[in-house]
Amino acid sequence: MAFVNLFRRICLHVSCRCYCYRYFPCLEDPARRSSLGLKLVLVILHLVYVGALFFFDKDLIDKTRREPWYTAFYVLLVIATLIQYFITACSSPGYVTDAMRAVSQTNSSSAKAAKQAASNKNGSIVVVADDPLRRQLLVNNSDSWSKTVADLYPLGTPTRNYICSYCNVEQPPRAKHCHDCNRCILKFDHHCTWLGTCIGYRNHCRFWWYICEEAALCLWTTYLYISYLQGNVSVSWWKSAIMIALLVFLLMSLIFLLLLLFFHSYLILTNQTTYELVRRRRISYLSHLPQRVFPFSRGMCRNLYYMCCGGAHYMERIPSQQELEERFRPYTCFDALTCRCCF
């Protein structure tokens, strides 16, 4: 009898799940459910911290009546942080397949322009069977991506070094296959579990702005919590216990966010990624370089420009030995005057 009841419960549970997935097919994927659950938890945490302030702190309510702009700026920061979170979570990190499509479209446009240039005055295309221009166009279109990727690597690099064993596509330098997304990412940094997406070339700047806004919000909220505890010493013990517990967790989050903000600021200024910094000895084009040499850095100003204003599918070439030797050269007083470290 117990076995029959257990079987009925299992069948009821499965039927309910199937009924829900019929109307919400996006929840059928376990990874998607986990990502949506984390997003919901993060939103709830923000609402809990803000709600606890307005529920317990009567002085903040009185200050809001006297100076509404103060609370308005704080609420706007909360909303802006949540919006930036969802923008970053829904943004594309930059996939290798998108870059392949962009290169193919560019070469197709070039091929059409070359055909139009070869046409006569009446608009008819003059191409014979043994036309060298026609043969060159066909070769470029069929192998355009392979040639683009090969030109980014030093001469003599084996083809197997930049072919993904999972996607079977040619990866440009700094790209990596993400096992969570099951796709190759341009300028792969890391896979963020809280965002539910990878951080790559196209959304690294948005990720930095989200961390910056979250850290500013934590700082402001910490100040409000400390102000409440200092001005309400004689309140009920359970109110103080709740606020102290929230404050402890908030301080831990603040320390983590500040460290993460400084770390990614350093990565952006030196044009590095988390994966390159952690797995430097396992990457073929970085393993032979000294620890403090950043081969892709163009100086702080240009690194910031390419991070914020670079193209949609920006791919970086591995520097030659001569360029690396120039970067190995020690700094002098003249280099400081010419801002060599910046440009």
Give DSSP secondary structure letters for 29-54. SHHHHHHHHHHHHHHHHHHHHHHHHH
d(CA 87, CA 94): 15
- Cβ neighbour number for residue 267 with a 10 Å cutoff: 20
d(CA 91, CA 85): 10
CA 277 to chain centre: 16
- DSSP symbol at 279: S
d(CA 9, CA 37): 25
Tokens for 284, please give them: 């073929």
CA-wise closest residue to 87 among 195, 182, 175: 195
CA-wise closest residue to 36 among 90, 94, 93, 80: 90
Question: Cα(first)–Cα(last) distance of the chain, in Å?
Answer: 78
Which amino acid is it at 328? F
C-beta of residue 100 within 8 angstroms of C-beta of residue 108? no
d(CA 77, CA 74): 5
**Partners of residue 198 on adjacent β-strands:** 191
Tokens for 203, please give them: 């959304």
Helix (H, G, I), strand (E, B) or coil at 27: helix
Q: Which residues of 249-264 are buried (b: 16+ CB within 10 A; e: fewer)?
A: ebeebbeebeeebeeb
Tokens for 335, please give them: 């280099």
d(CA 162, CA 149): 8
Q: Which of the residues are catalytic?
A: 192
